[in-house]
Amino acid sequence: MISSPLLALTWQPVAPPLPILGGAAVMAALAVAAYWRTIRERPIAGSILCAMRVLSIAMIAILLLGPSDVRPAPLAGGRPPLSILLDTSESMLTPDDAGVCRIESVRARWLDDDTLAALARDFDVELKGFDEEVRPLPRSQLSEPAAQLARGRATHLADSVSNAAARVRRGQDGAAMLVLSDGRDSRDAAIQPAAALAKAREVPVFTVLVGRDSKVNDVAVLAVPMQDYLLPGEAGSVLVKVYQSGLETAAATLMVKQGDKRQTFPVSFQGKPLVELQVPVKHDEAGQYEYTVEVEPLEGETTASNNTTTVFCDVQRKRLKVLLIEGSPYWDTKFLAQSLRKDDRIELVQISQLSKSKRETIVTRSEGESPQIPKTADDWSKYDVVILGKNLDAVVSTAGAETLTEYVSDRGGHVVFARGEFLLGPQAAQRDRREESELALVAKIRRIIPFEPGVGQILNTRLSLAPAGRLSPWLSGSRVGVNLDQAFARLPGLESVNAGLREKPSAVVLARSVPLNALDGAPGPPAIVQMNVGRGSVLAITGDGLWRWSLLDEEQQQFVGLYDAFWSNLVRWMAMGGDFAPGQQVSLKLARTTSRLGDPLAIDVVCKHLPAGGELPKLAVTDAGGRTEEILLERRPGREPRFQASLQPQSTGVYRVALKSPGLTPADQEQRFSVYDVNEERLNTMVNAMPLKVLAEHSGGEFYEIDQRDRFLQRLKRHLVATQAPPQTEYIWDDWRVMVALLSWFGIEWIVRRRMGLL
């Protein structure tokens, strides 16, 4: 390829230029020789024709030399996106250099107007904040006070990067991500999957470590009940977590008070940031019992306000009654029944259809007449929770299925669909004739099924908690005893799940199934779905295979007991979700009895009917300081009069919620809840560069310190150039106008020669 400075063009000859030019010269000489006689006889006409022939040869030579122009390649989809993720957790309020907090350093050095304007010239800048979740961060919020901007009480670094990367279209030229954080992840989640997802999406992640190592000397305590409720005389426990920062070698004394009783427990940190212990509890009478858990202040501790917390234990009067029905014995149901029999708080009735003519009934902790398959809503209402297994059509009639729907919606019942196989819709009709009765049964209970089935199967999936599942008391790590994110990553998931399954609009997904062969870890169909129906609720496990949790190898011994806790807590959570206790006409329910400072708390009030005078219930809340405030109850849709209020406590301590409902039973109710303030973001302020370095290296980005902004801008420029398509060299003669001009020229020469009698 050669270039001509005269014409500022690029030449792409089809052959070496010298032969082309030489050939053109020879052809021109031959043309002159051929026209020489004509020129002598007719000088003017011969000279014109000779000149036209020489010019034709010259034009062909020029075309063979390939005159071209270098044109920039168009950008695919316009300017590439640049996602800037700013850590907005409270650890970013930690002062580092010269007393300036981390988030102020970021705003001054990386997110000032000049830097953002420079980035916006080449990229579509998307500014986002992340702590417990990722959210848009308008430019106007950057000027807010630091305490308003950095309010997150946890940092989910890995999940936030994954969510942001998943929103970028795969293969979008020049896309990039910038993460500004102190590197801490509250869950200690592995960063490698997030980096792999970003790399698969071709989104390099550039990371900036914000802050310096710093510590505060502090101890904080958190306590939660291990059981939603206990039975009289039943042993339970309160899980106590003691956190420390800067006091690794210290030893403390934990004191637990309940009424006149006091217990003390030694706490030795031995370099660990967290020490957990379980305090045994047991009460012979029903009621709500208040426990005060306190750690004595240590020398050098900066604040003692978070050394004390309060927790409540509820003791109920009766066991839960559970009915388990299956039309065909299967591993899942067998292990499920064994697990529930271990729980002394559950009366279990298991009815299994072993064959067409043989049925087995096993009753645990229940006395009286032999139970039968329920036929009426009253029959179903004898049970607090009903669990449905495989092949229901073999044991439940279509009439019984209709009353099951009434049991849930009108009687406030609770149903668990423990197997999703019999709900596969169109597929079921293709298997065998027996499935016709199954489809008829499904048609009767479709209203209370929390999902819509599809077609196809996904085999071998793992479970992944959905956002709603992380907030569910049933799936709380303190209740099941392990970190469920870690457990789901290491334990077997569902053996099979319906591929096209999707939740209904009114349903809530607690966990999803992730195919093991999914390259980017994208979640698949719902695995655990919950839905309220009228006064009751339903929950579905959409596949099978969880029984394998009860048979663990040596490497999974830390999860022993999870299967039992999973089902035991589920049954309690479902049963306690009913609106009314026996004899009640109005109920007062708190979303939880232990709440973190700053988190909203939902309060529900449900009436069977309003009193004759139509007077509405009134709600009042008394805070830890003794101040009482009336809370507005908002009417919610529902068959019964239903009200809801939201409370956001602003101080720690014990709160009292009082409900007055004249004309209803009971006319007065009161419940208590405690508010704690264990803020790990302010307790542990150490920076962690390793996740940021791994994220950058594994995604194709680069890691920077807080003072390396200019280096980043240069590197980002190189990234943009490298991802753009190279300039395209195009023939300038490849145009219809050039072709028309050439043909016209050759045509004119032919006409002139013909008129002169030379053809």
Please state the domain extents for the chain. 2-72+728-755, 81-213+685-723, 218-315, 320-455+526-575, 586-675
Residue 325, classed as helix, strand or coil, is strand
Interval 593-623: pLDDT, tens: 888 787 888 888 888 788 777 788 999 999 9
| Average pLDDT over all residues of the chain | 83
Residue 734 burial class via C-beta count within 10 angstroms: exposed 0-12, middle 13-18, buried 19 and up: exposed
Would you say the CATH fold of 320-455+526-575 matches that of 81-213+685-723?
yes
pLDDT for the residue numbered 431:
45
Q: How far is CA 676 from CA 228, 475, 482, in A?
A: 18, 20, 21
Kindly state the average pLDDT of the residues 402-407.
90
Distance from the Cα of residue 611 to its chain's centroid: 44
Residues 6+ apart with CB under 8 A from 556: 490, 491
Element (H, E) at 39: helix 17-41
| Phi, psi for residue 461 in degrees, rounded to 5 | -120, 160
The answer to whether residue 44 scores a pLDDT higher than 50 is yes
pTM here is 0.53
Return the DSSP state at 73.
P
Is the distance from CB of 659 to CB of 617 less than 8 angstroms?
A: yes
pLDDT band per the 50, 70, 90 thresholds, residue 747? confident
Closest CA to 203 of 162, 161, 175: 175
Helix axis angle, 192-200 to 689-699, nearest 10°:
30
The CATH classification of domain 586-675, taken from the options 1.10.10.10, 1.10.357.10, 3.40.50.720, 2.60.40.10: 2.60.40.10
Among 125-134, 403-412, 688-697, the least confident range: 403-412
pLDDT tens for 139-158 read: 989 889 998 999 888 899 99
Percent of the chain with pLDDT over 70: 90
CA 130: distance to chain centroid?
13
Q: What CATH fold (topology level) applies to the domain 81-213+685-723?
A: Rossmann fold (3.40.50)
Mean pLDDT of 48-76: 76
> Of the ranges 404-408, 413-417, 612-616, which one carries the lowest mean pLDDT score?
612-616
Q: Assign 229 to helix, strand or coil.
A: coil
Q: What is the mean pLDDT of residues 465-475?
A: 81
DSSP notation for 80-98? PEEEEEEE-BGGGG-B-GG
What token pair was written down for 24? 């053109």
729 forms beta bridges with 70
Helix (H, G, I), strand (E, B) or coil at 742: helix
The H or E element containing residue 366 is none
pLDDT at 465 over 90: no
Could you tell me the maximum CA-CA distance found in the chain, to the nearest angstrom?
137
- What residues are paired with 604 via a beta bridge? 589, 644
What's the pLDDT tens digit per position in 301-355? 877 878 888 998 888 777 788 999 988 888 888 899 999 998 887 899 999 988 8
Whether residue 402 is predicted with pLDDT greater than 90 in this model: the reply is: no
Q: What angle do CA 198, 199, 204 make, to 5 degrees?
A: 75
CATH class of 218-315: mainly beta
DSSP state of 661: -
Q: What is the mean pLDDT of residues 416-431?
A: 56
Exposed, middle or buried by CB within 10 Å (0-12, 13-18, 19+), for 351?
Answer: buried
Indicate whether 209 pLDDT > 90.
Answer: yes
Q: Name the strands in the sheet holding 496-498, side by side, starting at the edge strand that comes first in the sequence.
A: 457-459, 496-498, 543-544
pLDDT at position 660, please? 93
Query: Which CATH number describes the domain made up of 320-455+526-575?
Result: 3.40.50
CA distances to 462, 532, 589, 654 from 603, rounded to whole Å, are 35, 17, 6, 16
Can you read off the two tokens belonging to residue 210? 């914000």
Beta strands across the sheet bearing 218-225: 218-225, 235-245, 274-282
* C-alpha count within 13 angstroms, C-beta hemisphere, residue 521: 22
User: Which residues, in sequence order, are bridge partners of residue 463?
Assistant: 513
